[in-house]
Amino acid sequence: MKTLATFAATLAALIVAFPSPAEVATSPPSIPLFTGWISGANVIFHWVPAAGAAKYELLRDGVVVQTVSQATHEWLLPVQRARGHGFQVRALDGSGTAGPTTYQRLSPLPALRGLTLKAAIAALRKGGFAPGSTLSYHAYGQKGIVIDVRSVGVMPLGGTVGLLISK
């Protein structure tokens, strides 16, 4: 009986000494480093694992569209479906507490080569980008056509894009 009382007292001391998970102060996971690029007909978004992450939420235009395990670090989408949308990632810890979303909303650039300057500017604005500096280059063929884009692939929405135009 004395052994049982000693065990009960020891157990009570342990319960007091170790707080429940709800009482433990935690901080949300860190922000994943987020990048992206285009490969063929797909856009690949990639993130470096965030400290404290148990899983990740994938967001399109600020809305969660998928939750993936901590082992997942890439998100593959067709470029045509991804254009004009902003993509972000945020980490969740083991208790489901969300960390902040990635600083930038990434999106693939619209296809601009071969468009007139006016059409390229309209496509940039529609896609969430701004036209940057425009340079002219003497080229054979039709004048006023985009022959090169100074940014490639995937970039933050709102970014400026320089264009090289035939003259």
Token pair for residue 90? 């945020």
| CA atoms of 96 and 21, how far apart (whole Å) | 13
pLDDT, tens digit (0-9, with 9 covering 90-100), for 120-137: 999 999 999 999 988 888
Using the predicted structure, report yes or no on whether residue 22 has a pLDDT greater than 70: no
pTM of the model: 0.77
Q: Which fold has domain 27-105?
A: Immunoglobulin-like (2.60.40)
Q: What does the angle CA 60 – CA 61 – CA 63 come to, to the nearest 5 degrees?
A: 65
Provide mean pLDDT across the span 91-108: 94
Q: Which residue ranges does the chain devote to CATH 2.60.40.10?
A: 27-105
Confidence band for 15, pLDDT divided at 50, 70 and 90: low
The amino acid present at 123, given as its one-letter code, is A
* DSSP secondary structure, 85-123, as one string: --EEEEEE-TT--B-PPPSS-EEEPPP-TTSBHHHHHHH
Using the predicted structure, report yes or no on whether residue 94 has a pLDDT greater than 50: yes
pLDDT of 25: 43
Average pLDDT, the chain: 87
Confidence band for 23, pLDDT divided at 50, 70 and 90: very low
Q: What CA–CA distances, in Å, run from 143 to 5, 34, 136?
A: 94, 38, 10
